[in-house]
Amino acid sequence: MTPISQGHEITAASRLEHVRYAIRDLACVADEVVKQGHKVLPLNVGDPLSFDFQTPPHIIEAVYKAMRDGKNGYAPSPGVPEAIEAIRGEAGRKGITTVRDVFVTAGVSETVDLCLSALVNPGEDVLTPCPDYPLYSAVLCKLGIVLNAYDLNEDDAWQPELADIERKLTPRTRGIVLINPNNPTGSLCTRQMLEQVAELARRHNLIVFSDEIYDKLILDGTPHLAFAAIAPDVPCVTFGGMSKNYLVPGWRIGWGIVSGDAAAVKAYTEGVHRLLRARLCANHPEQYAIRPALEGPQDHLIEVQRKLRSRRDLTQKWCEATPRVSCVAPRGAFYAYPKIDIPESDEIFVKELIRQKHVMVVHGSGFGQKPGTQHFRIVFLPDEQTLTRAYAGIAEFIRERYGNS
């Protein structure tokens, strides 16, 4: 008897059609170039460990010890108590006085997924920034939620555009996402902006999701302002994690800090905990690095900030000196988001740049941008020599393909 075979195509859910992750999608083009024997200069992936940054040894020791001490089973769903206590302490140092709950997740990526999933019903929406870190739109697409994006204003150092937020608010809007410091623009929200967003949240009963994963990577010496510290009464989940500040993106450790009026956040927090229990727990031994990271020596940050400042300055100088390119100077994280004046799409620009000069950046359309504008995102984590070579390649490409004016 011939075995029965199932020849019908198994299709993916149609709600995934709009899920894009341009950063990784470009990898196919890079693979072509690598197969031809070229080395690609990677200014596209925000992983410090791919460059000259090292994990502080004492936090590696803490995980190693946790494994040796038998912390290899499932952890409590919200996280291990010593990690939760340490994150509460960190919230205090950030000036957050109304902490109602803390939970540990598999990176901020999982915090985003859980917090959005616990909030929205079909037909409701959440305001997300444009440009945005693409995970937000991907999770909302996965939930079948129609995107409702508000503009960041390039002419105002990429601050959220309040008038656009007001325009986009509907009776079914439940929350608003802030990314501060921002990916992809490297901008920081001003105190006044945070106060205005808080006022809006109060008036429209919104929860604020404040993604502060880069809060220790501030490059201009100003203190970082946590939204929840500015607006202690407003329901808020502050997202933080180990990936960037403590140089361990592969460990997958992040967290959420719920703050605001206790009665206002109670039911929502219980919803988040249902989801936390359903997915069992975050990585267990890695959670034992949270306390030593947050409470131990912070020396690595001085070195990280020094390198990033110098690489940011080099990047900014190049943007200012290069025809067709202009850029709002980044103030935090390790991203720059220059505007480029070219007669074709930024996606073609980026793909041809990889093919012809073997330099990899990400097109602005992968993050969202105002219609009629073109951008690309630079990750300025590589050392000065690599950046200089990459920028020479990009400038040459622009001159050859578009001319200098």
Contact positions toward ligand PLP, by CB under 6 A? 46, 107-109, 133, 179, 183, 211, 213, 241, 243, 249, 254
Query: At its nearest, how many Å lie between ligand PLP and the CB of residue 366?
Result: 13
CA angle 191, 192, 197 (to 5 degrees): 100
Looking only at the bridges linking them, the beta strands covering 359-360 and 41-42 are parallel
Which one, 49 or 342, has the nearer CB to ligand PLP?
Answer: 49
Contact in structure between 78 and 103 (CB atoms under 8 Å)? yes
Query: At its nearest, how many Å lie between ligand PLP and the CB of residue 355?
Result: 26
Query: At its nearest, how many Å lie between ligand PLP and the CB of residue 311?
Result: 17
Contact in structure between 378 and 45 (CB atoms under 8 Å)? no
Q: How many CB atoms lie within 10 A of CB 356?
A: 14
Which one, 98 or 107, has the nearer CB to ligand PLP?
Answer: 107
**Burial 121-154, CB ≥16 within 10 A → b, else e:** eeebbbbbbbbbbbbbbbbbbbbebebbbbbbbb
Query: At its nearest, how many Å lie between ligand PLP and the CB of residue 243?
Result: 3
Which one, 281 or 398, has the nearer CB to ligand PLP?
Answer: 281
**Burial 379-400, CB ≥16 within 10 A → b, else e:** bbbbeeebbeebbebbbebbee
Q: How far is CA 221 from CA 61, 98, 306, in A?
A: 31, 27, 11
Find the length of the chain. 405
Which one, 265 or 282, has the nearer CB to ligand PLP?
Answer: 282
Cα 11 to Cα 395: distance, rounded to the nearest angstrom: 43
Which one, 46 or 160, has the nearer CB to ligand PLP?
Answer: 46
Contact in structure between 275 and 117 (CB atoms under 8 Å)? yes
Burial of 27 (0-12, 13-18, 19+ CB in 10 A): middle
Cα 205 to Cα 260: distance, rounded to the nearest angstrom: 12
Query: At its nearest, how many Å lie between ligand PLP and the CB of residue 111?
Result: 8
Closest CB to ligand PLP: residue number: 107
State the DSSP code for 147. Answer: P
Which one, 358 or 377, has the nearer CB to ligand PLP?
Answer: 377
Report residue 279 as tokens.
Answer: 């997915």
Query: At its nearest, how many Å lie between ligand PLP and the CB of residue 88?
Result: 19
Helix (H) or strand (E) run with residue 346 in it: helix 346-357
Which one, 211 or 347, has the nearer CB to ligand PLP?
Answer: 211
Query: At its nearest, how many Å lie between ligand PLP and the CB of residue 46?
Result: 5
Query: At its nearest, how many Å lie between ligand PLP and the CB of residue 329?
Result: 19
Which one, 360 or 398, has the nearer CB to ligand PLP?
Answer: 360
Which one, 107 or 330, has the nearer CB to ligand PLP?
Answer: 107
Query: At its nearest, how many Å lie between ligand PLP and the CB of residue 276?
Result: 16
Q: How many CB atoms lie within 10 A of CB 371?
A: 4
